[in-house]
């Protein structure tokens, strides 16, 4: 029963607060009237611990002040389109000189192909010897050469004067190769007949 009685007491207190709020804030005369500064001051004074502010502390409201100015110059107009600066065009490289067409006044003639370099032929040195005769066995014949006052006897494969290689010995001619040159480069000299020696 005590809990029910306390609940009824709370509801009665709540209803009383609602009635007081309605009476205090209900508009009078059928239209809402703005609360005067005096009534606001009275309400503040009526609150516990609230002191009304002095009249000198409230700054007066002024409605005739002009708008402030923007510091600095306006850089860009927001109502116009932004046009980027035009880039400086780079100079174009010079065009290559065209080759004159056949039949034009500048046409000289067809371009000749670049000649391929030819290999310089190897000229073997002259043989300073005279073959005076061939004697000895047929398998290994011996040739007698004359070089001024000298007489030289040689067989196939011998090197004369450090430059000449006796490559082949025949009855009528002999062939020489050369030291330091390809073996296919040879030079032939005749063998003098016996009648020429008299």
H-only helix segments in 26-148:
37-46
Q: What is the pLDDT of residue 56?
A: 60
* Domain ranges across the chain: 130-192
- Listed in sequence order, the residues at least 6 apart from 91 whose beta carbon sits closer than 8 Å to its beta carbon are none
Q: Burial of 29 by CB count in 10 Å (0-12 exposed, 13-18 middle, 19+ buried)?
A: exposed
- Listed in sequence order, the residues at least 6 apart from 50 whose beta carbon sits closer than 8 Å to its beta carbon are 44
Q: What is the pLDDT of residue 189?
A: 93
Q: What is the pLDDT of residue 144?
A: 93
What pTM did the predictor assign?
A: 0.41
Determine whether domain 130-192 maps to CATH 2.30.30. yes
Q: What is the pLDDT of residue 104?
A: 77
Q: Would strands 159-160 and 142-147 be described as parallel, antiparallel, or unpaired?
A: unpaired
Determine the Cα–Cα distance for residues 188 and 198; give it in Å rounded to an integer. 23
Determine the Cα–Cα distance for residues 146 and 174; give it in Å rounded to an integer. 14
Give the residue among 145, 148, 151, 149 at the shortest CA–CA distance from 166.
145
Q: What is the pLDDT of residue 196?
A: 67
150, 144 Cβ separation under 8 angstroms: no
132, 198 Cβ separation under 8 angstroms: no
Q: What is the pLDDT of residue 58?
A: 67
Q: What is the pLDDT of residue 197?
A: 64
Q: What is the pLDDT of residue 129?
A: 93
Q: What is the pLDDT of residue 75?
A: 62
| Average pLDDT, 10 consecutive residues per value, the chain (198 residues) | 74 86 72 50 52 61 57 63 80 81 73 81 89 90 92 93 93 93 92 75
């Amino acid at each position: 029963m005590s809990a029910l009685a306390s609940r009824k007491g709370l509801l009665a207190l709540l209803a009383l607060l609602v009635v007081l709020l309605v009476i205090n804030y209900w508009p009078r005369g059928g239209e809402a009237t703005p609360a005067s500064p005096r009534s606001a001051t009275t309400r503040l004074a009526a609150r516990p611990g609230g002191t009304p502010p002095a009249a000198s502390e409230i700054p007066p409201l002024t409605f005739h002040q002009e708008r402030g100015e923007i510091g600095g110059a306006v850089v860009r107009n927001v109502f116009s389109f932004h046009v980027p600066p035009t880039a400086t065009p780079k100079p174009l490289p010079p065009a290559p000189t065209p080759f004159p067409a056949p039949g034009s006044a500048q046409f000289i003639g067809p371009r000749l192909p670049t000649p391929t370099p030819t290999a310089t032929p190897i000229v073997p040195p002259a043989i300073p010897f005279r073959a005076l005769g061939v004697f000895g066995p047929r398998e290994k014949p011996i040739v007698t050469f004359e070089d001024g006052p000298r007489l030289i006897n040689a067989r196939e494969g011998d090197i004369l004067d450090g430059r000449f290689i006796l490559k082949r010995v025949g009855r009528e001619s002999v062939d020489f190769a050369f030291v330091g040159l390809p073996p296919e480069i040879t030079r032939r000299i005749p063998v003098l007949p016996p009648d020429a020696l008299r």
